[in-house]
Amino acid sequence: MRQFAVILLVFTTLAAAAEETTDLSIVNRIKAEAFQNSQVMDHLFYLADVYGPRLTNSPGHRAAAEWVMKRLREYGLHNVKAEKWGPFGQSWKLTRFSGHMLAPQYQPLIGMPLAWTASTKGVISGEPVLAPLRNEADFGKFKGQLRDKIVLIMDAKNIEMSTEPLAHRFTDQELFTRAKAPDPARLGPTTAAARAQREAAAAFRKKRNQFLRDEGALVVLQYSSRGDGGTVFAQSGGSRDVNDPIPPPTVALTPEHYNRIARLIAHQIPVKLEFDIESEMIRDQTDSFNVVGEIPGHARKGELVMVGGHLDSWHGASGATDNGTGCAVAIEAVRIVAALHVPLDRTVRIALWGGEEQGLLGSKAYVQEHFARRDTMQLGPEYNKLSAYYNDDNGSGRFRGIGVGGNDMAKPIFEKWLTPFHDLGATAVTGETAAPTREPGGTDFTSFTWIGLPGFGFLQDPIEYDTRTHHSNMDFYDRVQPGDLMQAAAIEAWFVYNTAIRKDMMPRIPMPKAEK
Ligand SMILES: [Zn+2]
């Protein structure tokens, strides 16, 4: 009996390994299409230079969606549409910004207004006051002193000298270290604590906005937790809820400029600043959308392989690396797969999400509609049809591997698929030992893993994602490395192709329990 079991085990192991045969003639054709006939930077040009920024539901986001749909149809995709979800709330766009120091000397100010904050009433000028509002107790200290003032709400920033280059590629050693499993004692659920922290911070920001509004602040100045040297990170300063009060015009300045103003105030030297900020709340369409399209399958056309990124961006630049790159790579991957003209067993579906930057709203809504709600685990029509979803949302960096998010069974499959791309730097399969069904966070594949579906994110070289581009005023086309996107598109196309023709669907982790 035991002998039989051993034989059976050997047999099934061999069968599993044997199944992942890789068709190198397809690799060859994919590489030729991806490297000699690449269109990936052209996709990025339209997404970033022509239609960026793409704040959810802004005119840029909507126009980018129209362009994507046109391009997907040109590539022969079927069922191309903008699939509605909602409500999202109001959108916002910036139409004008300038900031200047007029006294004691003239200096143009480098800054970026925060989304969902108000306009100035034309060109305004005023005196700045330093009023660090660290907690609610600080409100009392400045009550009655902020009317018609330009208010600096943070202490001067301690700017540390940077000794590292802004851009970085993983060394082999770093990649090796990242592929190592973390200490299992550190895998425990941290989501509740993190969520409580986020909610507390958001509640405080809301109270601070109300205080500044009630006090009649003319403009609010701050800096971001990351960035200096003219790189300014700017996200939301207000609310998508049409019923919430609109905070005063709020600008993130490069910390060197912020600190100069703060030091002058501390020395009681009169400072005069001028701002001209014009923005617009957009309320004509409070639902949002995801853009989807398909390459129809054949033998198992009811089953699905999904691939995507998020089409929306922040507003401070053109959203080139966050996530123009992920969208351009996904569009290019489906173009390459379609150009192979090989019948696929499963249907390939591209999805470019909206509302990612506001909390993965588009992918969460999609997953609830098509697959399952986590709070009931009541299954939607396609829960048992999805083989895998592949996501690219870490900027320009080339693919160095893929994370399996706690799915041990996927590891040997991905290791086999990566083999023909080892010479292009993609070698690592990470995350076998990971808590797989954590609350969605970070990026869109976690909306899938949250309900037990095989969702995977590629591991990418960081390049300048955290130091310069991600949510900043410098997220532009030129910060994207064309060779990285070509490599990423080839690998993504290869993973999509393999998943579409593989005999079985990708193995899954056990279905999680319903959880509020
Ligand atoms: Zn992103």
Region 471-495: mean pLDDT is: 98
Distance 393 CA to ligand 1 centre (A): 5
pTM, full prediction: 0.94
If pLDDT is split at 50, 70 and 90, which confidence band does 329 have? very high
pLDDT in tens, 242-297: 999 999 999 999 999 999 999 999 999 999 999 999 999 999 999 999 999 999 99
| Distance in angstroms (rounded) separating the CA atoms of residues 477 and 479 | 5
Cβ proximity of 388 and 349 under 8 Å = no
pLDDT in tens, 214-239: 999 999 999 998 999 999 999 999 99
Distance 9 CA to ligand 1 centre (A): 42
Q: Which residues of 395-425 are buried (b: 16+ CB within 10 A; e: fewer)?
A: bbbbbbbbbbbbbeebbebbebbbebbeebb
| Distance in angstroms (rounded) separating the CA atoms of residues 442 and 431 | 15
Distance 25 CA to ligand 1 centre (A): 34
Distance 446 CA to ligand 1 centre (A): 13
DSSP 3-state helix, strand, coil percentages of the chain (rounded to 5)? 35, 20, 40
The yes-or-no verdict on residue 5 having pLDDT over 50 is: no
Of 12-21, 135-144, 167-176, which gets the smallest average pLDDT? Answer: 12-21
pLDDT in tens, 433-452: 777 677 888 899 999 999 99
Two tokens, residue 128:
């700045």
Return the CA Rg of the chain.
25
Mean pLDDT over all residues of the chain? 93
The yes-or-no verdict on residue 1 having pLDDT over 50 is: no
Distance 351 CA to ligand 1 centre (A): 14
Two tokens, residue 495:
């993973």
Region 418-431: mean pLDDT is: 96
The yes-or-no verdict on residue 207 having pLDDT over 70 is: yes
| Distance in angstroms (rounded) separating the CA atoms of residues 430 and 459 | 8
pLDDT in tens, 350-367: 999 999 999 999 999 999
> 107-108 and 91-103: which strand pairing?
antiparallel
Residues with CB under 5 A from ligand 1 (ion): 322-323, 393
High-pLDDT (> 70) share of the chain, %: 95
High-pLDDT (> 90) share of the chain, %: 88
Two tokens, residue 508:
């899954």
